[in-house]
Amino acid sequence: MDYYQDSYRPDSAGSYGAPQRDSYQGGGGGNDYRQNTPPLMTEKIFHDRKEFFLDLKENSRGRVLKITEKVGGRRDTIMVPLEVLPELIEALGRIMDYERGLE
C-alpha cells in the first residue's frame, strides 16, 4: 500500500493522515502540525521490513520535519521543528562517531 495514498485519504473515522502517538501541541495548544497539507519535499528510506518517511512540511508556525516509521500496519511519527534540525544532525553525527569507535 502506498504511504501517500493511505495517508491523505480519510479513514473509516473520517480523519486524515497517519496515526500519531505524541503529537506536538506547542505554545497555542493547537494542532497545526496535524494539518494534512502535502509535504514540500519527501525522502524515503527502506530497510528490511521498515520504511522511513522524511517529510518537510509547513504550517502557520513555520516548517517542520515529520519523521514517520512504518512497520507492518503500524506508524510512529515525530515532528522536529526545522530550527532544531542542525542540533539533531550534530547529535546523530556524534552517535555515528561513537558507533564507528566500537567496531
Span 33-76, pLDDT tens digits: 555 789 999 999 999 999 999 999 998 889 999 999 999 999 99
Quick one: residue 39, left, alpha or beta (phi over 0 = left, psi -120 to 50 = alpha)? beta
Q: Which of 49, 20, 48, 13 is nearest to 35 (CA)?
A: 20
Task: Map residue 60 onto helix, strand or coil.
Answer: coil
> How many structural domains comprise the chain?
1
| Enclosing domain of residue 70 | 3-102
User: Does residue 23 contact residue 79 with C-beta atoms inside 8 Å?
Assistant: yes
Q: Report pLDDT digits (tens) over 21-34.
A: 434 334 444 555 55
- Domain CATH code at residue 47: 3.10.450.700
Quick one: residue 48, left, alpha or beta (phi over 0 = left, psi -120 to 50 = alpha)? left
Strand ranges of the sheet holding 50-59, from the earlier edge strand across to the other edge = 41-47, 50-59, 62-71, 74-81
